[in-house]
Amino acid sequence: MSLQVQDLIDLNTGEWDSATVSAIFWPIDYELILNIPLSRLGAEDLVMWHYANNSLFSVRSAYHLMCAMEFRPCSSDSREAEQQWWWRMWQARLPCKVRVFAWRAALNALPTSLNLLKRIPDTSSICPFCHEGKEDLIHALVHCTFAWQVWGLSNISSTVIFSTAAAPLPWLQFASSALEDEEFRYFLCLCWTLWNWDWGDCAGFRWSCIAWLSRRLASRASSELVEAMAAREAVLLAMRHGWQSILICLSQNIELLNETAHL
């Protein structure tokens, strides 16, 4: 669809054609458009570059705009903290999917219930898992009842997790400044796990699995040993629930389970 501004104006009244605007734009954009004042001069429409005195675009004016944005007034401390966060996150030895998640989280660009509500008016803003609050990213990763259980077993300081930051980026920045490299990577991986876990079938025993998996090993361990420990925990879980048979798929030798008997 190719439209011009004049197509959104009622030619009889000279005002915005609210029916056309509402049919094309999302409600949040609809309200903003209707609040834009319209000129009564009847002049011909022009394409104007707001950042040049002559209203004409030039590479020079674009360069000056970029410089002005780069050095816009702000607290030097907050700007430095933000730059350090972005540098450390992108340089962290993490899977790409975790770094992309962290990038989207910092920009508050993940589809939480509150974010979806901005685009889909009929969407509920209540957390679909705990039903105890509106789901923004901080709620999903920190305040949701399920998230508490994971963080409680993670050995990451509660001062970091339950900081007073109300927005994703300040929360992530605080964690970045407070945690060592290994802890920081562990922190981001847990955040990714919390966000991507399949909560749709989250019965109690499934939740105990993810909570257990959030535990941090006391020392470095090989991937084979970690897999064996997870299998051992699955067997113990089956015994507690009285299950008669279970299926465990391991990529390594099942004999490694014997090595975990003392853990």
Tell me the pLDDT tens digit for each residue of 212-245. Answer: 555 555 555 566 666 777 777 777 777 877 777 7
Are 226 and 164 in the same domain? no
Are 64 and 85 in the same domain? no
Residue 259 predicted with pLDDT over 80: no
Query: CA–CA separation, 100 vs 90, rounded Å?
Result: 9
Are 85 and 65 in the same domain? no
Instruction: Confirm whether 75 is domain-assigned.
Output: no
Per the structure, the complete domain to which residue 245 belongs is given by 217-263
More confident residue, 42 or 187: 187
Instruction: Confirm whether 26 is domain-assigned.
Output: yes
Are 13 and 36 in the same domain? yes
Q: How many domains in the chain? A: 3
Are 64 and 117 in the same domain? no
Q: Residue 55 contacts by C-beta under 8 Å, 6 or more apart in sequence?
A: 46, 48, 49
Locate 52 and state its tokens.
């040049």
Instruction: Confirm whether 210 is domain-assigned.
Output: no
Are 121 and 225 in the same domain? no
The pLDDT, as a whole number, for residue 71 is 52
Are residues 83 and 77 in contact, defined by beta-carbon separation less than 8 angstroms? no
Are 89 and 195 in the same domain? yes
Instruction: Confirm whether 40 is domain-assigned.
Output: yes
Instruction: Confirm whether 107 is domain-assigned.
Output: yes
Greatest mean pLDDT among 22-26, 50-54, 64-68: 22-26
Calculate Rg over the CA atoms of the chain: 26
Instruction: Confirm whether 208 is domain-assigned.
Output: no
Are 30 and 89 in the same domain? no
Are 104 and 43 in the same domain? no
pTM value? 0.55
The pLDDT, as a whole number, for residue 81 is 78
Are 95 and 160 in the same domain? yes
Tens digits of residue pLDDT in 34-45 = 888 887 776 677
Write out the DSSP string of the chain: ----GGGGB-TTTSSB-HHHHHHHS-HHHHHHHHTS---SS-PPP----TTSTTS---HHHHHHHHHHHHT-S--HHHHHHHHHHHHHHHHSS--HHHHHHHHHHHTT-S--HHHHHHH-TTS--B-TTT-SSB--HHIIIIISHHHHHHHHTS---HHHHT-S--SHHHHHHHHHHHS-HHHHHHHHHHHHHHHHS-GGG--HHHHHHHHHHTPPPSS---HHHHHHHHHHHHHHHHHHHT-S------SS-GGGGGGGTT-
- Least confident among 73-77, 149-153, 161-165, 258-262: 258-262
Burial class (CB in 10 A: 0-12, 13-18, 19+), 101: buried
Q: Among 52, 70, 88, where does a domain finish?
A: 70
As a whole number, mean pLDDT of residues 24-39 equals 85
Instruction: Confirm whether 211 is domain-assigned.
Output: no
Are 57 and 86 in the same domain? no
Are residues 79 and 69 in contact, defined by beta-carbon separation less than 8 angstroms? no
- Model confidence at 169, in pLDDT bands (50, 70, 90)? very high
Are 193 and 224 in the same domain? no
Tens digits of residue pLDDT in 231-240 = 777 777 778 7
- What's the chain's average pLDDT? 78
Instruction: Confirm whether 207 is domain-assigned.
Output: no
Query: CA–CA separation, 95 vs 237, rounded Å?
Result: 29
